[in-house]
Structure 1
């Protein structure tokens, strides 16, 4: 099919192949500055870690990892990510890496965000 060689839909992230997802470039419009990706794992899991790998682009500066415990009906923040502790406070109203006092407490990580390195970055969140 014409054009499919240049298509990189979100399904590529979990298809088991060496394919990838690629967001539209900002040159197509600022609406692509905010991207929402939902992956349906189709069953309950006990999550030990989340591993996200970037290719030829930097990590996002500020983002939210959310989870659903009702099969995708609603989503709640699981982790917030910001480039600096000040951004954790400004964007999410909380201190960076504040102590976890309850198992379901949401924290803001400033140690895993930021654009460096510019390529092949990894984000590994242990839970």
Structure 2
């Protein structure tokens, strides 16, 4: 009986590891989550996003936006104006990350406070 429980726990662990690896594969890197947070304020143009994020290069920003678009988190909209206007906005699917981002933000705030308290003065 103990062996069955151990096998079940090992299988459940493998499934959990694969699920986390999948999530990290899609959201990996320094910029994807901050980019999603920036776009949570509403549709924005490329230069607005870059200005808000700060030290991201145009090449990296373009790549990150493409990756998020391929994974259905961001939609690129092109408007037939002169000159052409392009905006980026979050898709309805991106809302599936709301709880994750809230928890990550809360944990980050707690962690920062903990580290600040631990620093020698």
TM-score by length of 2: 0.20
TM-score by length of 1: 0.19
**Which has the higher Rg, Structure 1 or Structure 2?**
2
Higher RCO structure (Cα 8 Å, ≥6 apart): 1
